[in-house]
Amino acid sequence: MRSTIAALIQDHPGALNRAVSLFRRRGFNIHSIAVGPSETPGIARMTVVVDAEHVEQVAKQLYRLIDVIKVCDLTDERTLQRETALLKVHAPSASRADIVALCTIFHARILDAGSHSLVIELTTTPATLDRFTDLVRPFGLKEVARTGQIAMVCPVHRERTATLTAAEESELDFEPNPLAV
């Protein structure tokens, strides 16, 4: 089983190394890691996907690191997940139309076309990205570069009912993102 942890960390040298070393020491295989600036200057958002069922203890230990501001285990949360990939596919003229059709179905973009290959960009869920990769593999997959998964907790949408008063309806707002500072 894969678990997803998101953390807000100080954006300075060594912070990422200390966080990743914690996973290494615990023997977790990091399947994916993505780090980038957050909405707050000087703070980075790190999303780590690890091959492990129970990461509660590691999440607690991660929070104790001096560079870590906030940690959230997103494994059991309803999240939006995305990953971007660049794929170089063997595409002679005989099979090019089939590859273009797959790109259209998956909303992928063709970034570059050579005489015998195409470079395709796709941003979608990790599972859909895996399916697309499996479908273009028979054409001749030359190269793949993936960014790593990012995830964000979905806001909770509540249906509006006729029985609610205006005051009750105002209380049914969105739940805050657990990583919001």
- The structure's pTM equals 0.78
Answer yes or no: same fold for 2-77 and 80-150: yes
CB atoms within 10 A of CB 32: 18
| Token pair listed for 66 | 């001096």
Q: Work out the mean pLDDT of the chain and round it to a whole number.
A: 86
In three-state secondary structure terms, 72 is strand
**Assigned CATH for 80-150:** 3.30.70.1150
Assess whether pLDDT exceeds 80 at residue 129. yes
What are the residue boundaries of the structural domains of the chain, listed by start? 2-77, 80-150
* The dihedral sign for the CA sequence 47, 60, 18, 42: positive
Segment 135-157, tens digit of pLDDT: 999 999 999 999 999 999 988 64
Determine the Cα–Cα distance for residues 68 and 92; give it in Å rounded to an integer: 49
Segment 55-112, tens digit of pLDDT: 888 888 898 998 999 999 998 889 999 999 999 999 999 999 999 999 999 999 999 9
**Assigned CATH for 2-77:** 3.30.70.260
Determine the Cα–Cα distance for residues 154 and 78; give it in Å rounded to an integer: 6
Three-point CA angle 118, 116, 140, nearest 5°: 70
